[in-house]
Structure 1
């Protein structure tokens, strides 16, 4: 850049554009796969380059979705109803919200999450070529929950391997709680109530969640606990609230992604099986890396993990700037003891030259002076932070089985 051979396009993440022209015959022909691990609160994204000899992850990140839309709409609804109830001169009207009753409508709380994902895809597509898109369609493949499903490649060699679809569904049904001692922390295992050595089925109706200590106690004495365990799971229903929430609006997301590149669908259970096979740590962004079925090593996944935060398009700012600092600027604040915070400005107070900050860890700092701040990057609708937050993982979902 100092030699005028490239220019800075974006600082976080660092993106530069080379001025050198590449002959048509020397253009890189390797495929770039954009992988999306769609979720209710977080969505993992990754760019993986498919090479002739090995595959290479280029980028990974986690989109943090807004969860306050429904609450804000409820407040707005209350204001609207209060206002209308005081207009006594106007006759009452019913069913006049035609826009909310039209066919094919997606709830705003769900649609804004899909649009946030599309905004990130379009932004990254401006910086790098995307040849195909891989989207995680469902958390669990229901067809593989019952006996008779097609076995995975490793099941021909490892007869004691439990399929990840079944295991996840069992833990979700039992609310991630050991059904013997009530333990919720640490690793949880799916136990066959009727052992497979006596022809017990690989079915969710024959599985129960146990912690490792309880599982060890019943090993070898399974038949003495059959009736007790079957009574515990009798009549239980599997609740897939998050999975159902993710599935709403999925058709809209698929149709919009199809306009950008060919889309391939997969399931969350298949993703988890590959991640465990390749011994890769559980995270939203790592799940996105393994979506495209391109074999990668755990070392290749140790690249910087970005926390991506698409912001509202319309800002409610009342103050334009304070000493050159603008609303939503990404800044670094240095305290007198040398401690630093990085975050974005959420409010400005010109009278006392102060502001409110939200740090990359999610901490809110109020009334901090702008004299000790430095602008790192001007806001461009999407924040890319280095992910320093503690990841949220369901108990028992982060093990590596060999």
Structure 2
């Protein structure tokens, strides 16, 4: 649990049991509901010993893992775990839709308007909005964690896959993580992500997978990443040194799919690589010490500690470490939902207005997206429902909980927990250790 002093300055995080004890004794009050933050009434940061915490970041295309941990002599102890779900895909879809509408207007026989797009230029370092969103939301949560915890250093995975090294088929000189105990981790992890952690030939998943040469080396095939795939042990042994065209001559559709996929880049890796320098510069601007590592180093760390694969655990294992003592059993899943829209109408599939949106968003003291607790005493919906609220001017609200949506709750039964901040919050169990 995050702890603030009476002036709002961050103190060392504490355990949930001790936080409950402070709240029951009246020494602390709830500062924020999610993530849970308490504020002490009788202590200041000047009179407290604050060892500080580190933040690990595992950037991703769809999800970013964030871990808050303490470190002593290379041993880490996880204190808090976050999984940040981005909405870059939704932003990209909306921008594509807007571009299509504008393109249609330009091609119609409308009154003439001088073109304005010919003189538009992009500034240096420009990122597409769907990519910039990933950097902005990650930095937003780094800033929040710095307000709630005494962050003294940041560990970030600056590149998930070194695509230059992978395409070259040889290690880069001077890249330490590509040598010694980390040899092969970059290539294998890239192939597992690209082929969906399933055999390229039979589609089986959850089985041991070997790296297979699509065009065998004995017949002139290279070690380039474009000639590699993953295959289960039976398929790998059956194919052996057979050319892929001969091995799959009875399944031409699968052959065409494999040959097409080997030429396609890993889209998620491309998105992460496109934003890595922007995220690095933004983190560097905070003034905190920044340590970087690769995805191969993270996977190697997890293999040594026996941790399962998850975004938060990847963030905990970023960079150089000796061992991990433990981590939280629960992960807070933070979903970027946005803050609504300026549109006053909702169109149908043909673009005609279907309904009107109210100008005022606040109804009965609530706004869509607020985190609430609904205590319904009787009826079909009797019980306690905690989640994000969808408001209506009639006073009949919907509450979206982790189990689904509960519709038609009267506003008199709803109480505020936290105002809307553009994010939705749920929790999930953290993955256990690998056997």
What range describes the TM-score normalised by the shorter chain of this pair? Answer: 0.7 to 0.9
The structure 1 residue matched to 2:393, chosen from 350, 368, 382, is 350
Q: Aligned pair in 2 of structure 1 residues 60, 174: CA closer, same or farther (>3 Å)? A: closer
The structure 2 residue matched to 1:294, chosen from 298, 321, 329, is 321
1:123 aligns with 2:144: yes
Q: Give the conservation status (yes or no) of the 8 Å contact 1:61–1:285.
A: yes
The structure 1 residue matched to 2:401, chosen from 351, 359, 379, is 359
> What does 1:311-326 align with in structure 2 at a 5 Å threshold?
311-313=337-339, 316=342, 318=358, 319-326=360-367
1:69 aligns with 2:91: yes
Q: Give the conservation status (yes or no) of the 8 Å contact 1:171–1:177.
A: yes
> What does 1:360-399 align with in structure 2 at a 5 Å threshold?
360=402, 363=404, 365=405, 367-371=407-411, 373-375=413-415, 377-381=417-421, 383=423, 385-388=425-428
1:53 is displaced (CA, Å) by 8.5
* 1:395 match: none
1:113 aligns with 2:113: no
> What does 1:213-362 align with in structure 2 at a 5 Å threshold?
213-214=234-235, 225-228=240-243, 236-237=262-263, 239-260=265-286, 261-297=288-324, 300-313=326-339, 316=342, 318=358, 319-333=360-374, 336=380, 338=382, 341-346=385-390, 348-351=391-394, 353-360=395-402
- Give SS of 1:8's match: strand
1:211 aligns with 2:228: no
Output the TM-score relative to the length of structure 2.
0.71
1:185 aligns with 2:169: no
The structure 2 residue matched to 1:140, chosen from 161, 180, 200, is 161
Unpaired runs of 5+ residues, structure 2, are 1-22, 248-257, 343-356
- Give SS of 2:326's match: helix
Q: Aligned pair in 2 of structure 1 residues 271, 71: CA closer, same or farther (>3 Å)? A: same
- Give SS of 2:132's match: helix
Between the aligned partners of 2:199 and 2:67, the Cα distance in structure 1 is 34
Q: Aligned pair in 2 of structure 1 residues 71, 373: CA closer, same or farther (>3 Å)? A: farther
* 1:221 match: none
Higher relative contact order (CA 8 A, sep 6+): 1
> What does 1:37-116 align with in structure 2 at a 5 Å threshold?
37-51=58-72, 54-66=75-87, 67-80=89-102, 88-96=110-118, 98=120, 101-116=122-137
Output the TM-score relative to the length of structure 1.
0.76
Q: Aligned pair in 2 of structure 1 residues 354, 259: CA closer, same or farther (>3 Å)? A: same
- Give SS of 2:98's match: helix
Between the aligned partners of 1:368 and 1:26, the Cα distance in structure 2 is 49
Matched residue count: 374
| RMSD of aligned Cα (Å) | 4.1
- Give SS of 2:317's match: helix
1:54 is displaced (CA, Å) by 4.5
Between the aligned partners of 1:163 and 1:207, the Cα distance in structure 2 is 13
